[in-house]
Amino acid sequence: MTGFWIALAVVVVLVGLYLSQTAGRLDRLHHRVDTGLANLDVQLLRRSGAVLDIASSGLIDPASSMVLADAAANARSGIADPIDRAQRESDLTRALAAVLGSREDVEALSSTEVGAELVDSLAGAVHRTEMSRRFYNDAVRATLQVRRQRLVRWFRLAGSAPWPRTVEMDDTIPAGLAGR
């Protein structure tokens, strides 16, 4: 009989260790998800900011300016969560692809010193956006993998933390900016 109790105690301790360890892991993963999303948000805002700068620079034609300004303003208007404004950000990507889709367009714009600076800061922003989203989605996938485990669900190890969602948007680098 004593043997049974000892075995039970060992099992309880082991399960307890496993649970507390997994809880710590989940905590770290959620932290990575949170900072990842905050980072993506910053990069998206920098991107739309850089687009607005170009639109108002007077260095590109007025029609292109309007297309860019509209898409950028739309992306910046009021939706705080990047997940919810993914559609608008994708539209901005499409507008960028249309306006800065060729090397010639970009080279024409960067022929002046001011233009070159604007292009550089936009190029940096679109590349960083693409990386941030990839890193964030990576963190989400890793977190979901742990949260789907049975023990994690049964013991509610994730507490009341909402299930993280990936950001699905088009962040293709416009052909004119690739490699810059």
Partner 1 sequence: MRVGLVCPYDWAAPGGVKAHITDLACALMESGHEVSVLAPWDGGDDVEIEPWVVTAGRPLAVPYNGSVARVSFGMVTAGRVRRWVKDGEFDVVHVHEPASPSLSMLACWVSDGPLVATWHSSQDRSRAMSVAYNLVQTAMEKISGRIAVSEKARQTLVKMIGGDAVLIPNGVTCKNFAVGGPLPGFPRQGGTILFLGRIDEPRKGLQVLLAAMPAILLDYPDLTLLVAGPGDTKDIQESLPEAVREHVQFLGLISEADKVSAFKSSDLYIAPNTGGESFGIVLLEAMASGTPVVASDIEAFAEVLEGGDAGVLFANEDSDALAERVVQVLGDAPERERLRVEGHRRALEFDWEKVSRDVERVYESVVIPGVKVEADLSGQFWGRFG
68-87 residues in contact with partner 1 (CB under 8 A) are none
The CA-based dihedral angle spanning residues 101, 106, 109, 115, taken in that order and rounded to the nearest 10 degrees: 120
Alpha-carbon dihedral sign for residues 53, 59, 62, 64 = negative
Distance CA 163, CA 55 (A): 38
Q: Which two tokens stand for residue 20?
A: 């507390």
User: Nearest-CA neighbor of 120 among 133, 130, 132, 106?
Assistant: 106
| Piece in contact with partner 1 (CB under 8 A), picked from 85-93, 100-108, 129-137, 162-170 | 129-137
**Which stretch, 31-39, 62-70, 79-87, 100-108, contacts partner 1 (CB under 8 A)?**
31-39
Nearer to partner 1, 70 or 180 (CB): 180
Name the minimum Å distance from CB 179 to partner 1.
8
Closest approach of Cβ 146 to partner 1, in Å?
A: 9
Cβ 90 to partner 1 shortest distance, Å: 19
**Binding residue for partner 1 (CB under 8 A) from 6, 11, 15, 21?**
21
Cα–Cα distance for residue pair 122/116, rounded to 1 Å = 10
Contact between 127 and partner 1 per CB under 8 A: yes
The answer to whether residues 68 and 99 touch, using CB atoms and an 8 Å cutoff, is yes
The nearer residue to partner 1, 39 or 48, going by C-beta atoms, is: 39
Cα dist from 135 to 67, 130, 166, whole Å? 29, 9, 10
Q: Does 20 bind partner 1 (CB under 8 A)?
A: yes
The residue within the footprint of partner 1, chosen from 30, 37, 41, 43 (CB under 8 A), is 43
Place of tokens 């004593």: 2
Binding site for partner 1 (CB under 8 A): 17, 20-21, 24-25, 28-29, 32, 35-36, 38-39, 43, 124, 127-132, 134-135, 137-139, 141-142, 145
